[in-house]
């Protein structure tokens, strides 16, 4: 895959992010010139190449959005696959740490004769600050 300036800037933005980002947030934070269509095309390509992950979250206050994170790639020094908690009141994300359900996924694979390529887990509710 060719590393254009925009693509490299998107990869760097995702790798540096402490929380999942929307495409609009990525677009606004880029240090290089790129239009929104370029950002969306590159995010789709990065997902196809396994360099980014996304999930769709519905928030009563903010609507339905797709959020992006850097995919696990130890060779590149990118963080491991993560799970998230989303506060419905303050709309913040809490990193729940690296994936802890791989044993459950393996059990499903064995039980049902399937091969899981990827999974997404996020929890929603009220954070301690808003509770």
pLDDT tens readout for residues 28-43:
999 899 999 999 999 9
Q: Which pLDDT score is estimated for 79?
A: 52
Confidence of residue 131 (pLDDT cuts 50, 70, 90): confident
Cβ proximity of 15 and 21 under 8 Å: no
Q: Which pLDDT score is estimated for 98?
A: 82
pLDDT tens readout for residues 7-28:
999 999 999 999 999 999 999 9
pLDDT tens readout for residues 69-127:
998 654 544 456 788 999 999 999 999 988 889 899 999 999 999 999 888 888 999 99
- Please spell the DSSP secondary structure of 86-126, one letter per residue: EETTT--EEEEEE---HHHHHHHHHHHT--------EEEE-
Strands 122-125 and 82-87: parallel
Confidence of residue 2 (pLDDT cuts 50, 70, 90): confident
């Amino acid at each position: 895959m060719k590393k254009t300036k925009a693509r490299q800037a998107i990869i760097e933005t995702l790798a540096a992010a402490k929380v999942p980002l929307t495409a609009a947030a990525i677009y606004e934070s880029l240090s290089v010139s790129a239009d929104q269509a370029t950002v969306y095309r590159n995010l789709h390509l990065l997902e196809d190449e396994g360099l980014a992950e996304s999930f769709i979250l519905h928030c009563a206050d903010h609507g339905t959005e797709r959020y992006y994170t850097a995919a696990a790639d130890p060779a590149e020094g990118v963080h491991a696959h993560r799970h998230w908690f989303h506060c419905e009141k303050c709309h913040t994300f809490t990193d729940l740490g690296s994936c802890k359900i791989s044993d459950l996924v393996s059990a499903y694979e064995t039980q049902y004769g399937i091969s899981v390529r990827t999974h997404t887990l996020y929890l929603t509710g009220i954070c301690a600050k808003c509770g």
